[in-house]
Amino acid sequence: MTTIVEIDDLKKVYDGGFEALKGVSLDIREGEILALLGPNGAGKTTLISTVCGITNATSGSVRVGGHDIVTDFRAARAMIGLVPQEISLEPFETVIRAVRYSRGLFGCKRDDAHIEKVLRDLSLWDKRNAKTMELSGGMKRRVLIAKALSHQPRVLFLDEPTAGVDVELRRDMWKVVAELKASGVTIILTTHYIEEAEAIADRVGVIAKGELLLIEEKTALMARMGRKTLDIELTDPVETIPASLSGYELEIVQDGAALRYSYDTNADRTGITKLLSDLSGAGLQMSDLQTRQSSLEEIFVDLVADNGKEEAA
């Protein structure tokens, strides 16, 4: 597995003293789709802007394909395509001219065959002579992607590609991203939408308050999501867990009125039947059972909340 982007202890303090990145380190693997999740103001855009050389880091380093983003800016930047959050297009420009122009900005020779391929891949070929102002919001986003791909970058950053778009357009965008990955482009996207990360990412990173709190394979996260808890409500509250039940790693909840058992839904056996029989063997009577499943959303909310508590402490 080759690392294509190496981010090392990246810090960004804006003028005025605000610390937007507090030492982020991250290796992005060639060919992956990495989703960076985080609440508003987490530092996602700052991170992308710094990697793309739009914002200068206060300290730390970024290398793209081995090229340092500061000392070897041109070579590093040539490998990157950036699709910004805001749609900014010249309204009277035609689609094909806008995309050709972007390629020219990188000093690349005109290549009509490549531009045609990009436009066809993004289903924009039929619209090539339309003025950008005549396009729907979804098509405008596709033009931004086409512009970002015009100079054949190996890494594509998408800053909230589906913010504020409807469900159908979002799915459409996910298809585009999957096709780009299949063509060998490494993709990093930021999003507020957990289901977006679930749907398309190979790995998921969670950023909050300028820190990377977690970076994990999506499948591993999904396995964690497979954890369920069973709350066994008791007729008579307990203060301690009977020694005969110590192997179950139960937790006392609801002030002793219930015992919580965590289990893996992917496991062959959950152990629940045996637990319930051992419970009655220990002289405990249950009045009710409740199960619940943790989701990626909960993992995310917990992580971000814990981070907030540490800040306050």
| Residues in touch with ligand ATP (CB under 6 A) | 14, 16, 18, 20, 38, 40-46
Q: Which residues of 289-308 are buried (b: 16+ CB within 10 A; e: fewer)?
A: eeeeeeebeebbeebbeebe
Cβ partners under 8 Å of residue 38, min gap 6? 44, 190, 192, 206, 207, 208, 304
Taking the least distance from each CB to ligand ATP, the nearer of 157 and 261 is 157
| Three-state SS at 230 | strand
- Beta strands 203-208 and 33-37 are parallel
Taking the least distance from each CB to ligand ATP, the nearer of 20 and 169 is 20
What secondary structure letter does DSSP report for 255? G
Nearest distance, CB of residue 255 and ligand ATP, angstroms: 39
Taking the least distance from each CB to ligand ATP, the nearer of 97 and 192 is 192
Nearest distance, CB of residue 213 and ligand ATP, angstroms: 13
| Three-state SS at 60 | strand
Q: Within the chain, where are the H helices?
A: 44-51, 73-78, 95-105, 112-121, 137-149, 167-182, 194-200, 218-225, 272-281, 296-312
Residue 9 host element (H or E): strand 3-13
Nearest distance, CB of residue 144 and ligand ATP, angstroms: 16
Taking the least distance from each CB to ligand ATP, the nearer of 43 and 53 is 43
Nearest distance, CB of residue 39 and ligand ATP, angstroms: 7
Taking the least distance from each CB to ligand ATP, the nearer of 55 and 61 is 55
- CB atoms under 10 Å from CB of 189, counted, come to 26
Nearest distance, CB of residue 42 and ligand ATP, angstroms: 4
Nearest distance, CB of residue 166 and ligand ATP, angstroms: 19
Taking the least distance from each CB to ligand ATP, the nearer of 45 and 150 is 45
| Three-state SS at 49 | helix
Strand partners, 126: none
